[in-house]
Amino acid sequence: MATTTVGVPDPAPQPQQKISNLGRIVGVLFSPKSTFEDIARRPSWIAPMILMTLIAIGLGFSLAQRADWVQVSKDQIAKNKFASRQIDQLPDDQKARAYEQSAQRSKIIREVRGFIGWPLLLVIVTGIYFGAFKLLGGIRTNFKTAFAIVTFAHLPAALRELLAIPVTFLRDPASIDPENFLASNPAAMLPDLSGWQVVPLTVLDIFGIWCVILLAIGFSAADPKKVPLAKSFGIVLSVWFSILLFFTGIVWVFS
Protein backbone atom coordinates (compact mmCIF):
# COMPACT_ATOMS: atom_id res chain seq x y z
CA MET A 1 0.00 0.00 0.00
CA ALA A 2 1.49 3.35 -1.04
CA THR A 3 2.01 5.95 1.61
CA THR A 4 1.42 9.63 1.06
CA THR A 5 3.97 12.06 2.39
CA VAL A 6 2.47 15.25 3.62
CA GLY A 7 4.76 18.23 3.05
CA VAL A 8 5.70 20.19 6.11
CA PRO A 9 5.29 23.92 5.51
CA ASP A 10 8.40 26.03 5.82
CA PRO A 11 8.63 27.80 9.15
CA ALA A 12 7.54 31.41 9.03
CA PRO A 13 10.47 33.84 9.04
CA GLN A 14 11.26 35.23 12.43
CA PRO A 15 10.37 38.91 12.75
CA GLN A 16 13.47 41.08 12.84
CA GLN A 17 14.15 42.52 16.24
CA LYS A 18 13.67 46.25 16.46
CA ILE A 19 16.54 48.38 17.72
CA SER A 20 15.73 51.06 20.29
CA ASN A 21 16.69 54.70 19.79
CA LEU A 22 19.56 54.34 22.25
CA GLY A 23 20.62 51.13 20.55
CA ARG A 24 20.64 52.92 17.19
CA ILE A 25 22.72 55.81 18.53
CA VAL A 26 25.32 53.43 19.91
CA GLY A 27 25.00 50.89 17.11
CA VAL A 28 25.56 53.35 14.26
CA LEU A 29 29.00 54.06 15.72
CA PHE A 30 30.07 50.47 16.28
CA SER A 31 27.89 48.19 14.11
CA PRO A 32 26.65 50.54 11.38
CA LYS A 33 25.53 48.03 8.73
CA SER A 34 22.85 46.28 10.79
CA THR A 35 21.86 49.56 12.47
CA PHE A 36 21.33 51.39 9.17
CA GLU A 37 19.33 48.43 7.85
CA ASP A 38 16.99 48.89 10.81
CA ILE A 39 16.87 52.66 10.22
CA ALA A 40 16.00 52.09 6.55
CA ARG A 41 13.12 49.80 7.56
CA ARG A 42 11.76 52.20 10.19
CA PRO A 43 13.21 55.67 9.51
CA SER A 44 13.22 58.10 12.41
CA TRP A 45 15.51 60.96 13.32
CA ILE A 46 14.06 62.75 16.35
CA ALA A 47 16.22 61.07 19.03
CA PRO A 48 19.61 61.75 17.42
CA MET A 49 18.52 65.26 16.44
CA ILE A 50 17.61 66.10 20.06
CA LEU A 51 20.91 64.66 21.29
CA MET A 52 22.97 66.51 18.69
CA THR A 53 21.18 69.81 19.35
CA LEU A 54 21.68 69.55 23.12
CA ILE A 55 25.39 68.89 22.63
CA ALA A 56 25.65 71.80 20.18
CA ILE A 57 23.92 74.13 22.66
CA GLY A 58 26.33 73.04 25.39
CA LEU A 59 29.33 73.62 23.14
CA GLY A 60 27.97 76.96 21.94
CA PHE A 61 27.59 78.34 25.44
CA SER A 62 30.97 76.90 26.48
CA LEU A 63 32.71 78.66 23.60
CA ALA A 64 30.75 81.85 24.21
CA GLN A 65 31.98 81.95 27.80
CA ARG A 66 35.57 80.81 27.29
CA ALA A 67 36.85 82.08 23.93
CA ASP A 68 38.63 85.42 23.55
CA TRP A 69 36.15 86.81 21.03
CA VAL A 70 37.99 90.07 20.40
CA GLN A 71 41.07 88.12 19.35
CA VAL A 72 38.90 85.77 17.31
CA SER A 73 37.41 88.76 15.49
CA LYS A 74 40.85 90.21 14.82
CA ASP A 75 42.02 86.90 13.37
CA GLN A 76 38.92 86.53 11.19
CA ILE A 77 39.18 90.08 9.85
CA ALA A 78 42.90 89.64 9.15
CA LYS A 79 42.14 86.61 6.99
CA ASN A 80 39.69 88.59 4.83
CA LYS A 81 41.48 91.02 2.52
CA PHE A 82 38.37 93.19 2.02
CA ALA A 83 37.52 93.49 5.73
CA SER A 84 41.13 94.03 6.79
CA ARG A 85 41.60 96.76 4.18
CA GLN A 86 38.53 98.61 5.47
CA ILE A 87 39.41 98.35 9.16
CA ASP A 88 43.02 99.41 8.61
CA GLN A 89 41.73 102.78 7.40
CA LEU A 90 39.95 103.49 10.71
CA PRO A 91 41.40 105.49 13.61
CA ASP A 92 42.51 103.39 16.60
CA ASP A 93 39.43 104.14 18.73
CA GLN A 94 37.03 103.20 15.91
CA LYS A 95 39.11 100.14 15.14
CA ALA A 96 38.83 98.95 18.76
CA ARG A 97 35.07 99.59 18.71
CA ALA A 98 34.74 97.64 15.45
CA TYR A 99 36.57 94.68 16.99
CA GLU A 100 34.30 94.77 20.05
CA GLN A 101 31.13 94.90 17.92
CA SER A 102 32.37 92.07 15.74
CA ALA A 103 33.20 90.04 18.85
CA GLN A 104 29.68 90.50 20.25
CA ARG A 105 28.08 89.47 16.96
CA SER A 106 30.30 86.40 16.65
CA LYS A 107 29.54 85.37 20.23
CA ILE A 108 25.77 85.63 19.72
CA ILE A 109 25.94 83.76 16.40
CA ARG A 110 27.89 80.96 18.09
CA GLU A 111 25.18 80.61 20.76
CA VAL A 112 22.31 80.71 18.24
CA ARG A 113 24.02 78.09 16.08
CA GLY A 114 23.59 75.60 18.89
CA PHE A 115 19.81 75.77 18.52
CA ILE A 116 19.41 75.85 14.73
CA GLY A 117 22.76 74.69 13.36
CA TRP A 118 22.19 70.96 13.11
CA PRO A 119 18.58 70.98 11.81
CA LEU A 120 19.44 73.51 9.10
CA LEU A 121 22.70 71.82 8.10
CA LEU A 122 21.21 68.33 7.95
CA VAL A 123 18.28 69.42 5.77
CA ILE A 124 20.72 70.95 3.28
CA VAL A 125 23.11 68.00 3.35
CA THR A 126 20.24 65.53 2.95
CA GLY A 127 18.96 67.43 -0.08
CA ILE A 128 22.39 67.26 -1.71
CA TYR A 129 23.04 63.59 -1.04
CA PHE A 130 19.48 62.47 -1.71
CA GLY A 131 19.58 64.22 -5.08
CA ALA A 132 22.95 62.69 -5.90
CA PHE A 133 21.84 59.17 -5.02
CA LYS A 134 18.63 59.57 -7.02
CA LEU A 135 20.46 60.95 -10.03
CA LEU A 136 23.61 58.82 -10.00
CA GLY A 137 22.41 55.67 -8.27
CA GLY A 138 18.67 55.50 -8.88
CA ILE A 139 18.16 54.73 -5.21
CA ARG A 140 14.63 53.63 -4.29
CA THR A 141 13.96 55.49 -1.07
CA ASN A 142 12.33 58.70 0.08
CA PHE A 143 13.53 61.94 1.66
CA LYS A 144 12.44 60.88 5.16
CA THR A 145 14.65 57.80 5.04
CA ALA A 146 17.52 59.79 3.55
CA PHE A 147 17.17 62.41 6.30
CA ALA A 148 17.27 59.72 9.00
CA ILE A 149 20.38 58.19 7.44
CA VAL A 150 22.16 61.55 7.17
CA THR A 151 21.22 62.48 10.74
CA PHE A 152 22.53 59.25 12.25
CA ALA A 153 25.62 59.36 10.02
CA HIS A 154 26.62 62.70 11.55
CA LEU A 155 26.69 61.40 15.12
CA PRO A 156 30.52 61.24 15.05
CA ALA A 157 30.53 65.01 14.46
CA ALA A 158 28.32 65.40 17.54
CA LEU A 159 30.75 63.20 19.45
CA ARG A 160 33.52 65.61 18.42
CA GLU A 161 31.48 68.51 19.84
CA LEU A 162 30.85 66.60 23.07
CA LEU A 163 34.57 65.94 23.55
CA ALA A 164 35.30 69.60 22.84
CA ILE A 165 33.19 70.86 25.78
CA PRO A 166 35.58 69.77 28.58
CA VAL A 167 38.58 70.62 26.38
CA THR A 168 37.26 74.18 26.01
CA PHE A 169 37.33 74.69 29.78
CA LEU A 170 40.87 73.32 30.04
CA ARG A 171 42.43 75.45 27.29
CA ASP A 172 43.76 78.98 27.43
CA PRO A 173 40.98 81.26 26.09
CA ALA A 174 43.44 82.91 23.69
CA SER A 175 44.13 79.56 22.02
CA ILE A 176 40.48 78.60 21.41
CA ASP A 177 39.29 78.65 17.81
CA PRO A 178 35.45 78.57 17.84
CA GLU A 179 35.39 77.19 14.29
CA ASN A 180 37.99 74.47 14.88
CA PHE A 181 37.65 73.66 18.54
CA LEU A 182 39.23 70.19 18.73
CA ALA A 183 42.62 69.03 17.49
CA SER A 184 41.19 66.27 15.30
CA ASN A 185 42.40 67.61 11.95
CA PRO A 186 45.66 69.00 10.51
CA ALA A 187 44.40 72.61 10.45
CA ALA A 188 43.97 72.62 14.24
CA MET A 189 47.62 71.60 14.63
CA LEU A 190 48.90 74.25 12.21
CA PRO A 191 47.53 77.54 13.60
CA ASP A 192 49.63 79.74 11.29
CA LEU A 193 47.77 78.62 8.18
CA SER A 194 45.52 81.10 6.44
CA GLY A 195 43.45 81.47 3.31
CA TRP A 196 42.17 78.59 1.24
CA GLN A 197 44.68 76.10 2.71
CA VAL A 198 42.65 75.94 5.91
CA VAL A 199 39.58 74.44 4.22
CA PRO A 200 40.96 71.09 2.96
CA LEU A 201 43.03 70.57 6.10
CA THR A 202 39.98 71.24 8.28
CA VAL A 203 37.86 68.84 6.24
CA LEU A 204 40.44 66.08 6.73
CA ASP A 205 39.03 65.56 10.20
CA ILE A 206 38.96 62.14 11.88
CA PHE A 207 35.33 62.54 12.89
CA GLY A 208 34.38 64.04 9.51
CA ILE A 209 35.87 61.07 7.66
CA TRP A 210 33.94 58.79 10.01
CA CYS A 211 30.73 60.60 8.97
CA VAL A 212 31.55 60.10 5.28
CA ILE A 213 32.03 56.36 5.82
CA LEU A 214 28.71 56.12 7.67
CA LEU A 215 26.90 58.01 4.89
CA ALA A 216 28.08 55.46 2.35
CA ILE A 217 27.08 52.51 4.55
CA GLY A 218 23.71 54.09 5.35
CA PHE A 219 22.63 54.83 1.78
CA SER A 220 23.78 51.39 0.65
CA ALA A 221 21.71 49.80 3.42
CA ALA A 222 18.63 51.68 2.18
CA ASP A 223 18.80 50.02 -1.26
CA PRO A 224 21.67 47.50 -1.55
CA LYS A 225 20.56 46.22 -4.96
CA LYS A 226 20.59 49.60 -6.65
CA VAL A 227 23.41 51.04 -4.57
CA PRO A 228 25.95 48.41 -3.49
CA LEU A 229 28.55 49.56 -1.00
CA ALA A 230 31.29 50.32 -3.54
CA LYS A 231 28.93 52.42 -5.65
CA SER A 232 27.65 54.18 -2.54
CA PHE A 233 31.19 55.11 -1.54
CA GLY A 234 31.80 56.45 -5.04
CA ILE A 235 28.76 58.73 -4.90
CA VAL A 236 29.45 59.96 -1.37
CA LEU A 237 33.10 60.73 -2.14
CA SER A 238 32.15 62.52 -5.37
CA VAL A 239 29.71 64.77 -3.52
CA TRP A 240 32.14 65.32 -0.64
CA PHE A 241 34.96 66.30 -2.99
CA SER A 242 32.69 68.64 -4.96
CA ILE A 243 31.63 70.43 -1.77
CA LEU A 244 35.28 70.69 -0.72
CA LEU A 245 36.26 72.29 -4.04
CA PHE A 246 33.31 74.70 -3.86
CA PHE A 247 34.14 76.07 -0.41
CA THR A 248 37.89 76.08 -1.04
CA GLY A 249 37.21 78.21 -4.12
CA ILE A 250 35.03 80.65 -2.18
CA VAL A 251 37.65 81.09 0.55
CA TRP A 252 40.37 81.51 -2.07
CA VAL A 253 38.41 84.30 -3.78
CA PHE A 254 37.75 86.27 -0.58
CA SER A 255 41.04 85.63 1.24
pLDDT tens-digit readout, 143-197: 999 999 999 999 999 999 999 999 999 998 888 888 888 989 888 777 666 667 7
CB-based burial, 42-62: b 16+ in 10 Å, e otherwise: ebbbeebbebbbebbbbbbeb
Contacts of 179 (CB under 8 A, 6+ apart): none
pLDDT at 10: 52
pLDDT at 15: 58
| Ranges in the chain, pLDDT < 50 | 1-7, 12
Euclidean distance between CA atoms 252 and 255, whole angstroms: 5
Entry pTM: 0.86
pLDDT at 16: 67
pLDDT at 44: 95
CA angle (241 as vertex; 236, 244 as ends), nearest 5: 130
pLDDT at 193: 65
Amino acid, res. 150: V
pLDDT at 255: 65
Query: Within a 10 A sphere around the Cβ of 105, how many other Cβ atoms?
Result: 12
